[in-house]
Structure 1
């Protein structure tokens, strides 16, 4: 007797695409805001103690990561993009912790981190890096 799955393949695929599209939207929108050096982002980066050029770097990383996750094939690139998003969002959360920010500041990076993990975990087999056995 086969063990019963918690969610069906169809449900997993729907959750994957919803999480991935929300993740992509969040990363693109914040990436554009960071590349454009919008006033609120500049103010926050100064409060956090980061140099302003860091905004451009992380904004570009986010846009490239979204391309990597959404483009078909290239599973190794997807793994790197997910890892990058994971590092960016955990870094953001720990930075907010370090400067003792209010709870509201954690919402965005925590949501994007959660979406990153869900998207990575539920990605279809053709989007996973397969290890070939000899």
Structure 2
């Protein structure tokens, strides 16, 4: 198997799992599922409207990552996923939550990095030296 083919397989596996994770958690946040409301408002101390913001941005980010073209928009989506998941990890750690609470955003953070790193050339921004 060539390195290019291997990288493409890694990219699509990571990206599909990332998309599923972000869409599912985004929907849970948009629908304000009771357990999610409890965690975000009581355990982490964030306002309820934060769920709506996160849910909308996660779903829009997945669309940006999956659609063809728009490489710069993809970079922003990956950055948003990275900041949201690293923020979630830090929030859970800062409030003394268990590793079980840290594991889901940690997994999504790893998938974000893998998807970004292994993305094909046509999904990257091109840098031009002047």
TM-score scaled by structure 1? 0.93
Counterpart position of 2:5: 10
Counterpart position of 2:22: 27
Shift of 1:132: 1.7
Distance 2:127 2:44 in 1: 41
Q: Which has the larger radius of gyration?
A: 1
Q: Does 1:118 align with 2:114?
A: yes
Shift of 1:83: 0.1
Q: What secondary structure is seen at the aligned counterpart in 1 of 2:89?
A: helix
Q: Does 1:106 align with 2:88?
A: no
Distance 1:49 1:104 in 2: 18
Which structure 2 residues correspond to residues 1-134 of structure 1 after superposition, within 5 A? 8-46=3-41, 47-134=43-130
Larger RCO: 1 or 2 (CA < 8 Å, sep 6+): 2
Stretches of structure 1 that go unaligned for 5 or more consecutive residues are: 1-6
Stretches of structure 2 that go unaligned for 5 or more consecutive residues are: none
Distance 2:109 2:63 in 1: 17
Counterpart position of 1:4: none
Alignment size in residue pairs = 128
